[in-house]
Amino acid sequence: MSGSPIVVLDIGTAKVLCMVGEMQPDDQLKILGMGSSPCRGLRRSSIIDMPKVVEAISAAVAEAGRSAGLKITGAYMGVAGESVSVHTSRSTVAISGTSTPIDDSDVQRGLAATEQALPAGNSILLHRFIQSYAVDGEYVQNPLWLHGNKLEIETLSILASRQACTTLQRAAEEAGVEIAGFIHETVAASTALISPDEREMGIALLDIGAGTSDLAIFRGQLRHLAEIPFGGDDLTKDLSVVLNMSPREAEQLKQQHGYVCSRAEKADQNITFNTTAGRPHTISQHQLKEIIEARQQEIFEFVRQELDLNRYGQKLAAGLILTGGGAMLENIAQLGEEILGIPVRVGSAHEFCATEGLGDPQYATAVGLIRFALDEEHQETSLTPAPQSGKKFLDKLARIFSFM
C-alpha cells in the first residue's frame, strides 16, 4: 500500500480533524496535509446540531485539501462513544471426518456462526477479533491442519449503531465527502501507539476525548473495550462552575495552567481571571490543581473498576498508555500510576509518524486511522464499509481524492 494516500476524518465532540497521509517505503507514515475546525454540534459523540457538524467537516476538509494539494472528495471515518457496543460470541462446528484436517473453510464456517450469534437489530459490524480456538475442547493457537471432530471459536465483535453511522455519513456527504468505511477510533489509535511486544505483554489504552473517554485492553489481541462517560469537557465544566467563569475562559485556564499531582514550585503561585460578572478573582495554582485533579481521579477510578471487573489489574505488564487531547494535562501519567499501581505513560506516535509535531496525543487517533486503513496485517478483523455500500474496504481508494 506504499504510496497510496489515505484521507481520514476524526469527528470529536470539540473539533473535527481531517488528515491525509501515505506510507513511506521505510514503513513511516508521512502526513501530506491536515485540517482542523472547532465543532460544537455533537454531545458525547452523537450529533445534536447537523448544520454545525457539516460546517466543521467542510472547514477541516478544505484546510486539509489546501495543505495537501488535493481536492478531497472522500474519506474513512472514525467512530466511538455511545453508539458503539461490544459483544462476545461463540460457535461450534463439526469437522467432516477425523482423517481430514481442519482447513480455512471450517474456520470460515465457525466465524459465520459467531456472526449469526450477534444481537439482531439496527447495528453494523465494525471489527471482529478472534479470542480463541479449541479443537475437541483443547485450546490451540491455530487450528489449521489439525485433526479433530469439533472446532470451537470465540470472537469479540465491535458493533456500531446503523442510525448513528448513517447520520455521520449524511453529515459528511452534505459537506461533499463520501465515506468509504468506518473504523473504531480507539482500536485505530492502538496501531499508532502500541508495539507488538506490548500487546503480547498486556497493555491498556485510555483515549481521553472531550466528551467521553474510551478504554481498550490488549493481551495478544483486543480483549475488552469500554466507554467512560467523562472527558476533557467535564474538567472544563468543573472549572466554569466552581470558579464562576465562562466555559471558554475555563478551557483557556485549563490549557495554560492546568496540572495534577503536587508541584511545590507552582503551588503558591497565583492566577487572576475575570468571573462571569466581570470581576477579577485570584486563586492559587494549588486550588486550581485540586479542582482538576478531582475529576481526573474519577476517570482513573473508572479505569481501575474496569480492570478489576475484568480481572486484568495484575495482567498488564506493559501498563497503560494515555492518548487524546485530555492526555496532554501536565503530570497526568504520574496521577494514573498513583491510582492504578501500574506503569502509565502518555502515548506518542512519533515512532510511526515521520512528520514532525504530529506524534502528539491529540493526533494519535487520526494517525492510527490512516495506519489501520493501510495495514494489510489485520487479517483477523473485518473492516466495514459505510452503510448500504457493498464494496470492500479499500475498493474506493481511486475515488477518495483527486489532484488539483
Query: For the chain (length 404 residues), average pLDDT per consecutive 10?
Result: 79 94 85 94 86 97 96 95 93 86 96 92 92 97 95 97 95 96 95 94 96 94 94 94 93 92 73 87 92 96 95 92 94 96 91 75 92 63 46 39 35
The CA distance from 344 to 197, in Å, is: 16
Label residue 97 left, alpha or beta by phi (over 0 means left) and psi (-120 to 50 means alpha): left
Q: CA of 273: how far to CAs of 266, 371, 391, in Å?
A: 17, 42, 55
**Residue 114: closest CA among 97, 129, 96:** 129
Is 77:188 a contact under the CB 8 Å cutoff? no
Q: What is the CA radius of gyration of the chain?
A: 23
The CA distance from 153 to 266, in Å, is: 55
Bridge partners of residue 85, in order along the sequence? 159
pLDDT of residue 100: 87
The CA distance from 35 to 63, in Å, is: 5
- Specify the CATH number of the domain 196-347: 3.30.420.40
Domain map (residue ranges) of the chain? 84-161, 196-347
The whole-model pTM stands at 0.89
The CA distance from 376 to 97, in Å, is: 34
Displacement of CA 225 from its chain's centroid (Å): 10
The CA distance from 224 to 368, in Å, is: 19
What nine digits make up the cell of 355?
Answer: 512528520
**Residue 386: closest CA among 172, 153, 89:** 172
pLDDT of residue 352: 74
Quick one: fold of 84-161? Dna Ligase; domain 1 (3.30.1490)
Q: Specify the DSSP class assigned to residue 398.
A: G
**Residue 90: closest CA among 126, 142, 53, 133:** 133
Residue 145 three-state SS: coil
List the alpha helices (DSSP H) in 270-379: 285-309, 332-340, 364-374
- Calculate ∠ Cα 68-390-110, nearest 5°: 115
pLDDT of residue 381: 41
Task: Give the number of other CB atoms < 10 A from CB of residue 3.
Answer: 8
Is 125:387 a contact under the CB 8 Å cutoff? no
End-to-end CA gap in the chain: 22
In this structure, the strands spanning 46-47 and 74-79 are unpaired
Is 50:78 a contact under the CB 8 Å cutoff? no
